[in-house]
Amino acid sequence: MKKIAFVFPGQGSQYVGMGKEVADNYSDAREIFMKADQVLERRLSELCFNGPEESLTDTRNAQPGILTVSVALLQVFKEEGIKPDFVAGHSLGEYSALVAAEVLDFATAIKLVQKRAELMAGSDPEGKGGMAAVLGLSRESLSACLAEIQGEEKVEAANFNCPGQIVISGAKSGLVKAQELVTAQGGKFIPLAVSGPFHSSYMKRAADDFQAHLTNIPWREPVVPVIANITARPYLREQIVENLYRQVFGPVLWEDTIAYLAQNGVEVFVEIGPGKVLTGLIKKTIKDALVLNCADLASLKKALEILKEV
C-alpha cells in the first residue's frame, strides 16, 4: 500500500459556502460545526455556509472557519477507515494536522486558533505591514534582495511554498523597495490582500502573548508524525509549544516539508479543507506524486474512491 499524507490548508483558502455540503450529508461532520458554534458561543457555521464574504475574510473568522471545515472533512475519512502515514498543515493548517494526529481535541484547537487569530489581527493596528508573493527567483537571489532592506523597513521571507514561489512579509515601505529589487532581478512581484505582515518578526509580540495560552494545553503524543512548519521535520511532544510559538513569527517551510515527506516514501498527498492551494504547490514540488483535494462533496467522494484503490 502506498504511503499517504494528509495536508491541511491555511488562511486565504476560505470561501462562502465552505463545508455546507459535507455538513448536510455527514452527521459526524455536522457535529463538528455544532461543536464550533458551542465552543465559540457564536454561529460560525452560519458564516461559513452563507457569509457575507467580507466577514468570513476577517482573520478572526477565517482561521476558526477553515479549521472547522478541515476537521469536518477529516471526520469522513475517519468514518471510511482511511488513515494517513503523515500529516502536515500550512500555517493555520498545522492545527488541523495536530487534531488529525490526536495531539489535541477539536474544542481545544478551535479555542487556541480563535486566540491566535485575535492576536494576529491586532498585531498591526496602523496597517503598516503587508505581504507579497515573489515568483521566479531562487532562495539565494531573493535573500540577496532582502538583505538590502534594513531597519524599520525590513522585509523577510515568510512562506517557502514551492520552487520559484516565496511569500515575503514586512513593512509596506520595505515591500515597495523589494518590488523594485525583485523586478530588477527578473522576478514577478504580487502584493497579497492580507491584514498584516504574518510570519515575520513583526509578529513577535503577538507570539509572545500567544505563548502563555500554549503552555496551558495538555498536549498528547502524536499518533502519526506531524511535520512542523518551522523545521520541516516531525514534531516531538516536548517541541510542540516551541514550534507553535515560533510558527507565528517564523517562516513556513512548506517546500521543505513536501520534499521531506516524499523522501520518506509518501506517494499520495490528500489536501483536506477548503480550496486547493496546496494541491497546486505540491504538484510543482513533486512532479510524479498523486495529489487529491477534498473541499466539497464531489471532490471528497472522488478522493475516497481513488484512495480505496491505492
* Catalytic residue flag (residue 213): no
Termini Cα distance of the chain = 6
Catalytic option among 13, 45, 199, 200: 199
Q: Name, in order, each residue with C-beta under 8 angstroms of 41's C-beta and a sequence gap of 6 or more.
A: none
Q: How many CA atoms does the CB half-sphere of 268 hold within 13 Å? A: 18
Distance between CA atoms of residues 241 and 86, nearest Å: 20
Distance between CA atoms of residues 228 and 180, nearest Å: 33
Distance between CA atoms of residues 90 and 227, nearest Å: 10
Q: Are 61 and 19 in contact (CB under 8 A)?
A: no
| CA distances to 113, 167, 196, 205, 212 from 192, in Å | 22, 9, 10, 22, 30
Catalytic option among 91, 96, 123, 195: 91
So which residues are the catalytic ones?
A: 91, 199
